[in-house]
Amino acid sequence: MALVVSGLDYGHPGGEPLYRDASFRVEAGTVVGVTGPSGSGKSTLGALLAGDLRPRAGEITVDGAPLPGRGFRPVQLIHQHPERAVNLKWRMRSVLRESHAVPRETLDLLGIRSEWLDRRPGELSGGELQRFCIARALHPATRYLVADEMTAMFDAITQARIWHALIGIVRERGLGMVVISHEPALLDRLCDERIPVERLRGPAGSARRSRWSPAARDAAGSA
Amino acid sequence: MNTPILTVSELGVGFVQYAGGLRTRTVPGITGLDLEVREGEILAVLGASGSGKTLLAQAILGILPHNAHVTGEIRYRGERLTAARRRRTLGREISYIPQSVTNLDPLMPVGGQVRIGLDPKTAEQEQRRLFARYGLADEAARLYPFELSGGMLRRVLFATGVRDTVRLVIADEPTPGLHAEAVAEVLRHLRELAADGAAVLLITHDILSAVTVAERVAVMNGGRLVTVESASAFTGEGDGLGHPFARELWRALPQNRFSAGGVEWRW
């Protein structure tokens, strides 16, 4: 039982390849960290794992089956900015129901108060809203979670509260998890294993060079 | 002792909301806040999202939403900061470094954005000097924001905010989402501004940045300034911190205990 990536190739349309022949696996019940500087393609990897983007080549399988092209996605992505992940005109009750009937117990574990259910996203703080996004991602059919800088926008106490609750649920349900973050101390706490995003670039020499990076510009200037 | 540049006393910010029909209610944003920033000093304001720290910046700059109700007093160099005084000082003596690089105009070359507000006769020369100061190549002035990396855009933001005449700098969350080297660079630039004599108000939720760069750290929670701690007290278990909320914040860091409101990490 694992989320398996094999021979993954991807680059943005018209851009250089970001990953070449990248392979790794995330066992169910483990937490794997993905590190790298800003702009190195961490979030793109998250979107590929969740099925929001399609690889150019290679395969992603979930517990042996390929990522489904339609229907419920067993790999759920939690974004950095929760206000961009929900319908801002809905009340939180509907935002939750869009995914599934979230059990009261899960709401309690995540510290979601019942009076918040009648509010709209704009009437909650970012940390409060992020708890709803996590609750939504914890569908009974969810097998893996990808947390993309999930708590980067929050203060230390909010960050710790959210992780205490989520890691508890993840361990209990035996879910696998990918944590994308540029904060080494956080990954030290959470992860069983770490993957630097550079390792996914493929054979040496084929590494991506952004058209806009200073290095690429210098190279173009001297050519 | 250095002279105070910014003095905030008994500041209150509330929002008037309609609670059905014509009934209104006032939702408090900031209550009874006092603080002072002196010449050459960096004061960090730490707090959770929703603690009112961005409202503080907006109140000083006079850019609160229309339904905001402000009480108390904000003084700049000893005199009340009125609308007329803001018009004279904002951008010249009081500089704002916003949170996001999306505050730059995407359709204007960055050199032009740095020249805004400079004396037209010397603007070109001054902009080159600012570019040199922040390690930006002269040629970069002709580029548009999308052609520069995130780190370079940060430096452009600093160049737009910094003038020789600046006495007070307000930086709102200048570091989240940046990797360690980029954060160090932002902090170095703030330190340089203070060394040149400016008073710097650094608003952030990044405790480690705040305590490396500031002498004093003001901690906000729920719209109140709960304590002002010495940056050097943020060390070890945080036993030197006077206020329990400051200790809780410090211990919640993953490099410390990663505890949440007194609950220890157990995974």
B216 in any annotated domain: yes
Quote the mean pLDDT of chain A: 88
B26 in any annotated domain: no
Is a pLDDT exceeding 60 seen at residue A202? yes
**Average pLDDT for B41-61:** 89
Q: How far apart are CA A21 and CA A102, in angstroms?
A: 38
Contact B254 A214 (CB under 8 A): no
Number of domains in chain B: 1
The A residues from 43 to 72 touching B (CB cutoff 8 Å) are none
Q: How far apart are CA A200 and CA B119, in angstroms?
A: 50
The model's confidence at residue A216, banded by pLDDT at 50, 70 and 90, is: very low
pLDDT for res B15? 86
pLDDT for res B152? 81
Strand order in the sheet with A75-78: A75-78, A144-148, A176-180, A31-35, A193-196
What is the token pair recorded at B63?
């850019």
B105: containing domain: 37-63+86-251
pLDDT above 90: percentage of residues in chain A: 67
Helix/strand/coil for B75: strand
Can you spell out the DSSP letters for A9-43? Answer: EEE-TTS-EEEEEEEEEEETT-EEEEE--TTSSHH
Is a pLDDT exceeding 80 seen at residue B182? no
pLDDT for res A73? 94
Answer whether B236 touches A (CB < 8 Å): no
**Average pLDDT for B28-47:** 94
- Lowest mean per-residue pLDDT among A72-81, A167-176, B181-190: B181-190
Contact B267 A182 (CB under 8 A): no
pLDDT for res B141? 93
What are the backbone angles phi and psi of residue B81, rounded to the nearest 5°?
A: -85, 95
Interface test with A, best of B206, B211, B258 (most A CBs within 10 A): B258
**Average pLDDT for A73-82:** 93
Answer whether B19 touches A (CB < 8 Å): no
What are the backbone angles phi and psi of residue B95, rounded to the nearest 5°?
A: -120, 145
Q: Could you report the per-residue pLDDT of A22-50, keeping only the tens digit for each? A: 999 999 999 999 998 777 888 899 999 99
Is a pLDDT exceeding 90 seen at residue A89? yes
Contact B252 A157 (CB under 8 A): yes
Is a pLDDT exceeding 70 seen at residue A206? no
Helix/strand/coil for A168: helix
Is a pLDDT exceeding 60 seen at residue B185? yes
What is the token pair recorded at B158?
């600093």
- Lowest mean per-residue pLDDT among B96-105, B114-123, B233-242: B96-105
Query: In DSSP terms, which residues pair with A26 in a beta bridge?
Result: A3
Is a pLDDT exceeding 50 seen at residue B215? yes
Candidate CATH numbers 1.10.10.10, 3.40.50.300, 3.50.50.60, 3.40.50.2020; the one for domain A2-222: 3.40.50.300
Report the Cα–Cα distance between both ends of chain A, in Å, rounded.
Answer: 50
**Average pLDDT for A61-81:** 92
The model's confidence at residue A203, banded by pLDDT at 50, 70 and 90, is: low
More confident residue, A218 or B146: B146
pLDDT for res A218? 45
pTM of the model: 0.81
B263 in any annotated domain: no
Side chain identity, residue A45:
L
pLDDT for res A209? 46
pLDDT for res B1? 58
What is the token pair recorded at A202?
């493929």
The A residues from 203 to 222 touching B (CB cutoff 8 Å) are 212-214
B131 in any annotated domain: yes
Query: In DSSP terms, which residues pair with A2 in a beta bridge?
Result: A27
CATH number at residue B99: 3.40.50.300
More confident residue, A36 or B251: B251
pLDDT for res B181? 79
Domain boundaries, chain A: 2-222
**Average pLDDT for A165-177:** 95
Helix/strand/coil for A213: coil
Is a pLDDT exceeding 60 seen at residue B187? yes
B75 in any annotated domain: no
More confident residue, B236 or B183: B236
- Asked whether the beta carbons of A33 and A194 are under 8 A apart, the reply is yes
- Asked whether the beta carbons of B36 and B4 are under 8 A apart, the reply is yes
Query: In DSSP terms, which residues pair with A145 in a beta bridge?
Result: A76, A177
Q: How far apart are CA A28 and CA A175, in angstroms?
A: 5
Q: Chain B residues with CB inside 8 Å of A214's CB?
A: 149, 152
Q: How far apart are CA B21 and CA A87, in angstroms?
A: 26
Give the angle subtended at the CA of A52 by the CAs of A25 and A152, to the nearest 5°.
75
Contact A155 B205 (CB under 8 A): yes
User: How many C-beta atoms lie closer than 10 Å to residue B112's C-beta?
Assistant: 14
Q: Does the predicted interface ipTM exceed a cut of 0.90?
A: no
Q: Could you report the per-residue pLDDT of A11-21, keeping only the tens digit for each? A: 988 878 899 99
The model's confidence at residue B79, banded by pLDDT at 50, 70 and 90, is: very high
Per-residue burial over A35-49, b if 16 or more Cβ lie within 10 Å, else e, is bbbeebbbbbbbbbb
B23 in any annotated domain: no
